[in-house]
Amino acid sequence: MPRRRVNPLSTTDGAALHQRVCEAPGCPLHGEYRAPRARDRLNEYRWFCLQHVREYNSKWDYFAGLPPEQIEAHIRADTTWRRPVWPLGARRNGGPYVRVNDPLDLSDDAGLGERAQPKFDGSEQLTPAERTALDVLELSWPSTLADVKSRYKELVKLHHPDANGGAREAEEKLKQINAAYSTLRASEHLPAE
């Protein structure tokens, strides 16, 4: 015997459809169209004819009686399908490797553990020229413009050709120091103090 397919979207069959009468007062037409009864009973329906279901739907307000704060909270929750969300970039649990049971700390040895997560100190925003300039002035990140200026003064006194008897190496080193200082002074990434 073949199976009979039932359409789960079908809410009425022919006999029940003709038994329903429009729920609008005084309307003798068939109630063919459904409309929700209330916000808290969305799966219970009132049945109307086409004219009255249009009137009902135009007047029906899902948020009627709710304060604006609850309406805003409802809309915000619906934007993510009522699923929990976290701010982007915020690792609440310390990264994906926290879920792994690793009693021997093998993930740390492989560079995957929580302690192996890269630490960003802001130096990644520096250009290669600025990094080279910091190396020439023998400074590390983070350095301020005041640090650069004081280090520049020290190195100029140390490598000035007059202090080194006119040595060619000291003159070349001074040119590198001057170029590095100019690069860092023009940098947008160094704080003033």
Residue 161 has what pLDDT?
76
Q: Of 79, 110, 136, which closes a domain?
A: 79
**CB 46 within 8 Å of CB 23:** yes
For 96-135, b where at least 16 C-beta lie within 10 A, e where not — what string? Answer: ebeeeebeeeebeeeeebeeeeeeeeeeeebeeebeebbe
State the residue range of the domain holding 23: 14-79
Residue 164 pLDDT: 72
Closest CA to 26 of 55, 58, 56, 48: 48
The pLDDT of residue 57 is above 90: yes
Number of domains in the chain: 2
Domain end residue (candidates: 46, 79, 112)? 79
Q: Residue 73 domain-assigned?
A: yes
| Range among 28-37, 88-97, 177-186 with highest mean pLDDT value | 28-37
Of 36 and 139, which is predicted with more confidence?
36
Write down the pLDDT at residue 49: 95
Percent of the chain clearing pLDDT 70 (strictly above): 72
Please check whether residue 69 lies inside any domain of the structure.
yes
Q: Is residue 29 part of a domain?
A: yes
Q: Specify if 42 maps to a domain.
A: yes
Give the confidence band of 59 by pLDDT, cuts at 50, 70, 90: very high
Token pair in block for residue 106: 């093998």
| CA distances to 49, 130, 186 from 59, in Å | 16, 66, 65
Q: Are 160 and 106 in contact (CB under 8 A)?
A: no
Work out the pLDDT band at 193, boundaries 50, 70, 90. low
Q: What value does the mean pLDDT take over residues 99-119?
A: 61
